[in-house]
Structure 1
């Protein structure tokens, strides 16, 4: 399709051609981003087809979250080099956004799994499950006598270095060495943790290994956990399972409860199968 050089479109026609609202074109005119080719005595705005490429460039850059100021600067000095640099910069930002969205998707999948477990679970049941990938945990050491409040503050600050924007972007909980379980020390935790999306090659992270895990649940406040650990040790002996490494605890229903009496802690402990 071709248009004569003097072909004019009304603002409505030009907006429909590019599938945008007339108010968008009016705003672009007001801020000097895209002026109409002509304004008649009656105040009506008219555009030429040759302006389509400029408008499509603006729309593309806006979709890439380029600011109005940046677009104005680019239009004043349009060149292949300036567009390339702008697209490279926004490409990096887009990669960052995609990475964050993948983290959110993973978090959503885990939350969905937790909600499915909540609807179908038998809290008295213990099962052996296979974890098919490693998990990467930011930790704060509790062995130095730090208060829980201070540990949470440090953990949150540390996790921000891994592009976690909010607490709900990650799973978090506590770590209890299995050797302490076998000694009957059910409250001698070694660390608080917050999971960050992996894989990550960075020193200082605690790696929760993949493999077979004994999974159990405890309902109610943390005061009930020692009793549940006694049940776990008894079950492991009966099944010939050897616990190893650490017990990983995390709450799985904070978003849907009102009191600690309804709180559910998921416990996962690596096991050596008979």
Structure 2
């Protein structure tokens, strides 16, 4: 038995040529094939140019034609493209494809997909947490003190930055952001600052101690800062206000009420460049845990 082709049909002939079996190959023009595969002619031309998917044959006039067997191959290529494989990687697989190679490919791609799913879930959580913070921001009144009961919160922080240069502070913040993203650490996305305060001590309001992200969960985090449960005196101000004046007024208010200071200051933007344009439209939250509230 041998195979020959006649008018784009597979022709099976026995050695004595007593019988001829013809299997009709249904051919599709570029437009027809694109419609079947829910793609465009330009995509087919692009794949042909990259030499990862070419027409089954061309006729005497140079028109491209595809066959039914190619539909499954095309959808495989699309799937591999969607999970991030390059044209070079796809071409390499197609050139040596076999059941064993397919199993190896699917195993490796499953690991990649699971990693991407985990990353996307992390991004989704960041978006959801940002939504919660933004909705809260729209409900507060600027330049007003609030007494807010807070549950225990867990923060992941930079190193102590109080003696670092501005450039090194930026590096420290970048390292913290990379740590959270690469390890899929779910945080409330706004970057906060910690400023230590003890009664009777002068503060440098432009020299913070640490930057932080608030964690959604402390699970799996070995080193973290605990923002204690308790009553926090909280103030909201616009982003373009003089921060030194804000803190001095804050301290004067604490002293006038004879509150006991029980924590550092926590400063965090609840509205920033992600939701508004220009620092004058930012909303900054400053809070500190206080005691002796009823005395």
Q: Same fold (TM over 0.5)?
A: yes
Task: Determine the C-alpha separation between the residues in 1 that align with 2:83 and 2:26.
Answer: 31
Q: Which has the larger radius of gyration?
A: 2
Change beyond 3 A, Cα 1:87–1:171: farther
Change beyond 3 A, Cα 1:7–1:117: same
Q: Where does the alignment leave 5 or more consecutive residues of structure 2 unmatched?
A: 1-22, 183-187
2:177 corresponds to 1:155: no
2:146 corresponds to 1:126: yes
- Under a length normalisation based on structure 1, what TM-score does the superposition of the two structures give? 0.76
Q: Where does the alignment leave 5 or more consecutive residues of structure 1 unmatched?
A: none
1:12-46 Cα deviation digits (max 9, x unpaired)? 11111110111111222233212222211122221
Q: Which residue of 2 aligns with 1:221?
A: 242
Change beyond 3 A, Cα 1:231–1:89: farther
The structure with the greater share of residues assigned to helix is 1
Asked if the contact 2:154/2:224 (under 8 Å) is kept, the reply is: no
Task: Determine the C-alpha separation between the residues in 1 that align with 2:149 and 2:232.
Answer: 5
The structure with the greater share of residues assigned to strand is 2
Change beyond 3 A, Cα 1:160–1:81: same
Change beyond 3 A, Cα 1:20–1:92: same
Q: Which residue of 1 aligns with 2:18?
A: none
Task: Determine the C-alpha separation between the residues in 2 that align with 1:266 and 1:119.
Answer: 12
2:95 corresponds to 1:88: no
Task: Determine the C-alpha separation between the residues in 2 that align with 1:57 and 1:181.
Answer: 65
Task: Determine the C-alpha separation between the residues in 2 that align with 1:18 and 1:263.
Answer: 49
Change beyond 3 A, Cα 1:37–1:209: farther
1:206-234 Cα deviation digits (max 9, x unpaired)? 34456765433234132122312433565
Question: Residues 58-207 of structure 1: matches in 2 within 5 Å?
Answer: 58-123=77-142, 124-131=144-151, 134-142=153-161, 145-163=163-181, 170-177=189-196, 180-187=197-204, 191-195=209-213, 198-199=217-218, 201-207=220-226
Residue 258 of structure 1, aligned match among 269, 275, 278: 278
Change beyond 3 A, Cα 1:142–1:50: closer
- Under a length normalisation based on structure 2, what TM-score does the superposition of the two structures give? 0.71
Asked if the contact 1:159/1:196 (under 8 Å) is kept, the reply is: no
Considering Cα pairs closer than 8 Å and 6+ residues apart, tell me whether 1 or 2 has the greater RCO. Answer: 1
